[in-house]
Amino acid sequence: MNDMRVLLIGSGGREHALAWKLASSPALKELWCAPGNAGIARHARLLDIAAEDLDGLVAWATAHRPDLVIVGPERPLIRGLADRLTAAGVAVYGPQAAAARLEGSKAFTNELLARHGLGQKEFAVFTDPVSAKAYIRRKGAPIVVKADGDAFGKGVKVASTVAEAEEFVDRCMVDKIFGPAGETVVIEECLFGQECTIKVFTDGETVLPMVPSQDYKRVGDGDTGPNTGGMGCYSPVPVLDEQTFAYVVTRIIQPTVRALADEGIRYVGTLYAGVILTPKGPRVLEYNCRFGDPETQVVLPRLESDLLEILQAAVGGRLQEVRPQWSDRRCVCVVMASGGYPEEYEKGKIITGIGDAEELEDVVVFHAGTAQRDGQLVTSGGRVLGVTALGNSFATARSRAYEAVSRISFEKCYYRRDIALRAVEAESNDERVT
């Protein structure tokens, strides 16, 4: 379909990357984004509707009848936005609530995988803190404790001691710091290895993998400090060989989609597998029901095909007809954050230098937490910008990204200085071997 009218939902760096890529589609006629940000405004008309305002979004879509709605964040999907849009006769890219439980309930995911012979790690589910703590004492540490529901990415504790694990159980189940999300906890064995992300497009039957990526969760250099939404990312992943990548797609992700279908659940959208590469082989740590952030910022710049065409095919059940083309180039994203993130931070700091940064070859700056105020670009979130660069080598892409970062400034700006360093070293070592 040409002359497509599209509504994109969300306001972060992921949504800016999606808007940027969608804007290049010859099939696109009009793009709206609810609520968007200052960077997305370069590609779309912004709507003053929050991403979690399901009533407002459904009302707007019902009145304006876009040809496609693309949902960025997980929470609206977990709460059933795709179901409501579908019921209103509006096409949507993103799983319905039953399928989004892969992210919304860790117990559901582990139990689904176990039922279909796909479970790869030992786990137990508890609704009672006394039983949960008894299990922890029996198993010992290290051990992983997870709030069952969506806890804004903060509901996981990799505990190095039994006391630490028991304390987190109490925080979830007794103190209820995550509300209903922590009323049930999942306790898992602790796995060790490098982590990476493998995302796929799926229409509920066909699975088309995207290129893999590896992100940096902790706030500080050398993977120190608290976890964040992601401080940087790169693609491809040198430590992930083609055989292992194919194994994850064909032996884990495809069977998961099939398992859902066998239980009457059709998954349409992006399925994100967080994978850990253990000495015994790859294991899925978690599933997410959407594009990742900042993973999307390094994956979409490598996509040479029309993103809108792929999403249309997924929604129409025609994904087997599509053959996405991916660049062999390297991509690096460095997140520029507000000082103090992921804890308390100030907003409203004036941002300068983005134009200078984007004058560099193969550089694009994705906005994550930005807004326009009195004609000036200011910070409005913890993660402010995703400064992204392509190159024929990781060294080139990384150098371009950090040169671009050096041209941008705002008060109390913070960023890691070691993003993609391990990829540069791996590529260099590989070249020396050959």
Gap between the Cα atoms of 264 and 316, Å rounded: 18
Residue given tokens 């050096």 in the structure block: 406
Query: How far from chain centre, in Å, is Cα 394?
Result: 22
| CB proximity list for 55: less than 8 A, separation 6 or greater | none
What pLDDT, on a 0 to 100 scale, did the predictor assign at position 1?
Answer: 65
Structural domains for the chain: 4-98 (3.40.50.20), 122-189 (3.30.1490.20), 194-433 (3.30.470.20)
| Residue partners of 151: CB distance under 8 A and separation at least 6 | 178, 181, 182
**In the predicted model, is pLDDT for residue 154 greater than 90?**
no
* pLDDT (0 to 100) of residue 112: 95
Q: Give the pLDDT of residue 433.
A: 36
Rounded to 5 degrees, φ, ψ at 238 are -55, -35
Measured between alpha carbons, how far is 199 from 214 in angstroms, rounded to an integer?
Answer: 11
* Mean pLDDT of the region 49-77: 98
**Minimal CA–CA distance to 331: which of 385, 272, 388?**
388
Structure tokens at 193: 């290895």
Q: What is the DSSP letter of 252?
A: I
The DSSP call for residue 227 is E
Question: Are the beta carbons of 229 and 338 closer than 8 angstroms?
Answer: no
Question: 421-433 and 394-406 are packed helices; what angle lies between their axes, rounded to 10 degrees?
Answer: 150
User: With 0-12 CB in 10 A as exposed, 13-18 as middle and 19+ as buried, what is 170?
Assistant: middle
Q: Which residues contact 263 (CB under 8 A, 6 or more apart)?
A: 112
- Asked if residue 432 has pLDDT above 60, the reply is no
Average of per-residue pLDDT across 233-246: 97
Share of the chain above pLDDT 90, in %: 94
Return d(Cα 1, Cα 208) in angstroms, integer: 21
Written as one letter, the residue type at 424 is: V
Percent of the chain with pLDDT over 70: 99
pLDDT tens readout for residues 364-400: 999 999 999 999 999 999 999 999 999 999 999 999 9
Sheet containing 207-209, strands listed edge to edge, beginning at the edge strand earlier in sequence: 207-209, 194-202, 269-278, 281-288
Three-class SS state of 45: strand
Give the mean pLDDT of the chain: 95
**What confidence tens digit (pLDDT) does each residue in 99-144 have?**
999 999 999 999 999 999 987 789 999 999 999 999 999 999 999 9
pTM to 2 decimal places:
0.96
Write the single-letter amino acid at 389: A
Tokens linked to 49: 């509707």
- Please name the residues in contact with 284: beta carbons below 8 A apart, sequence gap of 6 or more: 113, 120, 248, 252, 273, 274, 275
